[in-house]
Structure 1
Amino acid sequence: MKIRLARPGDGVAVARLAALAVPDPDADRQGDGDLAKGVDQRGGRHRVPYGQARILVAVDQQHTVLGMCNIHPAISLAQQHPHLGAHVQQRLADRIGELDVLAVDTTAQGRGIGCNLLRTAEAMLATRGTTQLIAQVRSTSALQWFSRRGFTFPSPNKVFAFKFEGHFIGIDALSVTGYRQGYKPLH
């Protein structure tokens, strides 16, 4: 098993896995085609507000994509605090990363692929100066999986607050999209 940045040619597999992680039978699957096209054009790095997003994939010896995760600066958190000013918002996004999708093919679950993706993502973020990671999850099983790996999920309707450069920053237990949000310090 190898963890690497997504490459052109991985797009369809990445989009398929992302759809597994975020099942929504009522959703227009056009976004999946956009994701596949973006990966096939740019690979696993793409520009987002406050920096770069990275899509990591887990591949087997036959180069089959069995898992993926998407990490990026904490865009929505920084944007929720315009009163801090652009420079502080940038530093906030630099110090806090966000993992919004982690998915493993159902035929490959239970083999440590998700753990390896998470460890690789955490190490990549930590080397760039990220000190905390936010994960967004929808299902109870995902919440339990992330909790076993050191994430703390505040009770619903609660806020996790921390001090950043003299300002209190709050992370709601529920995101505006209805996901549970957990956090983990990176060492």
Structure 2
Amino acid sequence: MKYLLVVTFNKSNSKNFQTALLWAKSAEVFKEFKMGKDEIYLCAFGKNVEQAGAANVFLHYVENWSGKQIYIGGRIHSGSIYNLSGILDCYQKSLSCQNVKSYCCFLSDDVFLSHQPQSTSFTISLSLEKIEKKDSEKKPLYVVPCQNLQYRKIEKDTCLGSWSEQIQALAVRENLAWCPSFNAALFRQYD
């Protein structure tokens, strides 16, 4: 993917049109096309902090316009602008860090789906002495490559693909895989 996202839009009667056009012109690529009486505009935002910010502002201006098309990785984005804006903001923040992994990745001991029947019973024990958990009770930790994948789970069995492949597929389902900071290969068991 050469650009973060590409947007096409036509001339609008919106009071925000001139402002939106100004933001569109700040994109890495901006082009105007005449098709008969219609004017079509294309803007392509680059993969850096400034361009991600400009794209985010621009998208809020054109959010309710019917004549816009948003393309990410060559595909039309059909999700909400709100969701897209959240990912752009997260990407922008990740680029503000010296190490993108430090921002994006997190440790979790709860990454796999459970197909076991869930028990509804619980036990309460009170003690004045500190009780250490046995090593056998400690769950292994995993490095998950995207903060937006918290509370999402994959299959422990690799019959559906490796863990990294499942994480990548999950990111596609959640519309996160297009983020340039996302790297499914970072998923692993933490030592």
Scaled by the length of structure 2, the TM-score of the pair is: 0.25
